[in-house]
A and B are shown apart, each in its own frame.
Chain A
Amino acid sequence: MAERLITYELPADAALGLETYHAARRERRLLVPRCRACGEAHWYPRPFCPFCDSGELDWPEAAGEGTVYSFSIMRRAETPYAIAFVTLAEGPTMMANVVGCPPDDIAIGMKVRLDFQDSVAGEPFPVFTPA
């Protein structure tokens, strides 16, 4: 089925401090920052831990497994699309699209798997498909 196009263009300053994250994303790998001091993973990525303010982070690659925490299907769009909050196996919950299935098949609690979708400008962004 047709997916909504990602037209968002990453601004020039978006990668500052997050070079590791964005370099991996461009290789279609999702890194979820984890604090070396307190052990907590966080989202969205920052160059410091929002829980303990340590600047010592590891950037391990996500297992790619998630669960739909909530979602909504945007019906008024030219191509209806599903926006969701997906809780990663690593702990944090992130905003993303669920793609690769009819929107009406999506449900809270559904297991999903990491994928990447290229934007119109050719930037891959993490999305999820039914597991």
Chain B
Amino acid sequence: MSLRGAACIVGAFEHPARKAPHISTPQLHAECARAALADAGLTAADVDGYFCAGDAPGFGPMTMAEYLNLDCRHVDTTETGGSAYLVHVAHAAEAIAAGRCDVALVTMAGRPRSEPAVSAFSSAGAFTPPDQPFELPYGPAAINTYAMCAMRHMHEFGTTAEQLAWIRVAASHHAQHNPHAVFRDPVTVADVLASPVVADPLHRLDCCMNTDGGGALVIVKPEIARSLSRPLVTLRGAGEFVKHQSGGRVDLTFSGARESGCAAFAMAGVTPADIAYASVYDSFTITVLIQLEDLGFCEKGRGGAFVADGNLIAGVGRMPVNTDGGGLCNSHPAGRGGMPKIVEAVRQLRGEAHPAVQVPGCALALVHGTGGSLGSRHGSATLILERS
């Protein structure tokens, strides 16, 4: 089923908190829901579909529908880590097209800086994931597994630490205009290279942060969207893919973006050259580089040259990426960066990004997320959104 034109994003909100010691996680979800609905010109009474991932408390959609007092005839709890909310947008469009709901609410929130992270409605710890006894003995963490992707990319394609550093430089240039961003000082390639190596070849400034915070989206059928006063942001293409280690045939040089991006572009009937703005998951600098290649913005192996020399900086380069400062400089709520990625793309398409980073006449935007781990198993999701 093509989802082209099937639904519109009419409400989008990113919570300004980056550390939230005095507010509960359910409250954060509620504040985000309220603000996204207000942005749309709707209320909780209009919602008939609800979407959440593993950051939601208790029994997920049951707990949250009760807490927010929603009457939901459709729920979806697809969990692909930080990319889940991109998948939710696509699944909301499917549900709307199938008549399962008309007004879908997606919420995410978490407080890793204020309380221990708990995967709420997963059964983490209750039984052993099958990969765990073959990996956990060796001390894998987010950074050293992503670092192995970077190391291999450098080996095969000659990618350099300087080229990766440009991704942080671009994020920092954007973040200086975002009053909510955690890191607002522009940095240079030299600053990135001078920061300590955490896991070779990645430096501290190649890494995102983890913050408290959250966000929410309201996705509705086009007839409803046209009755509201917000600029129309319509889904034009979507794709998702789970990449893993394929029974031991490990290839760290590409991601699931190869498949999810291809599917999204095919559905949208556009090419990477048509994209005016891209939100691209930036858990680490290498994540951005590999995804941009896989999405077709440049040839495989040429990502280093593509991201260098300010090419990702709005107003400077050809491909503005993460104009909110991204997970590297702005926010990475609960380690789940997909939500702010979508919110910034909506801002760009509405012309509501900060004037210093707004892409003039932005009509077509791409959002891409990688949830899980680039170096082992991850859920890739791509959205192509248009202003119509």
Interface residue ranges, A against B (CB under 8 Å): 4, 6, 8, 10-11, 13-14, 40-46, 50-51, 69-77, 81, 83-85, 87, 91-97, 108-109, 119, 125, 127
Known contacts A83-B144, A95-B134; A73 and B155 CB within 8 A of each other: no
Q: Which residues of A contact B115 (CB under 8 A)?
A: none
Q: Which residues of A contact B248 (CB under 8 A)?
A: 41-44, 91-94
Query: Which 3 pairs, one residue from A and one from B, show the smallest C-beta to C-beta distance?
Result: A92-B248, A43-B248, A72-B147
Q: Which residues of A contact B138 (CB under 8 A)?
A: 6, 83, 95-97, 125, 127
Q: A4-B139, A8-B137, A70-B152 are in contact. List 12 more A-B contacts (CB 8 A).
A: A43-B245, A44-B130, A70-B148, A70-B151, A74-B198, A75-B199, A81-B139, A85-B250, A93-B245, A93-B248, A108-B155, A125-B137
Q: Are A108 and B140 in contact (CB under 8 A)?
A: no
Interface residue ranges, B against A (CB under 8 Å): 127-128, 130-141, 143-145, 147-149, 151-152, 155, 196-202, 245, 247-250, 252, 376
In the bound complex, CA of A77 to CA of B198 (Å): 9
Known contacts A75-B197, A77-B139, A97-B139; A70 and B149 CB within 8 A of each other: yes
Q: Are A119 and B151 in contact (CB under 8 A)?
A: no
Q: Are A94 and B127 in contact (CB under 8 A)?
A: no
Q: How far is the CB of B132 from chain A (nearest CB, A)?
A: 7
Q: Are A73 and B134 in contact (CB under 8 A)?
A: no
Q: Are B128 and A14 in contact (CB under 8 A)?
A: yes
Q: Which residues of A contact B134 (CB under 8 A)?
A: 43-45, 94-95
Q: Which residues of A contact B133 (CB under 8 A)?
A: 8, 10-11, 14, 44
Q: How far is the CB of A66 from chain B (nearest CB, A)?
A: 12
Query: Quick one: which of B136, B137, B148, B248 has the most chain A CB within 10 A?
Result: B248
CB pairs A–B below 8 angstroms (8 shown): A11-B133, A44-B133, A44-B134, A70-B148, A71-B148, A75-B198, A83-B138, A93-B250
Q: Are A51 and B144 in contact (CB under 8 A)?
A: no
Q: Which residues of A contact B376 (CB under 8 A)?
A: 95
Q: Which residues of A contact B135 (CB under 8 A)?
A: 44, 95
Q: Are B139 and A72 in contact (CB under 8 A)?
A: no
Q: How far is the CB of A127 from chain B (nearest CB, A)?
A: 8
In the bound complex, CA of A70 to CA of B137 (Å): 17
Known contacts A75-B196, A94-B134, A119-B137; A69 and B250 CB within 8 A of each other: yes
Q: Are A14 and B137 in contact (CB under 8 A)?
A: no
Q: Which residues of B contact A119 (CB under 8 A)?
A: 137
Q: How far is the CB of A34 from chain B (nearest CB, A)?
A: 11
Q: Are B200 and A75 in contact (CB under 8 A)?
A: yes
Q: Which residues of A contact B155 (CB under 8 A)?
A: 70, 108-109
In the bound complex, CA of A87 to CA of B248 (Å): 9
Q: Are A83 and B247 in contact (CB under 8 A)?
A: no
In the bound complex, CA of A75 to CA of B144 (Å): 10
Q: How far is the CB of B85 from chain A (nearest CB, A)?
A: 29
Q: Are B132 and A14 in contact (CB under 8 A)?
A: yes
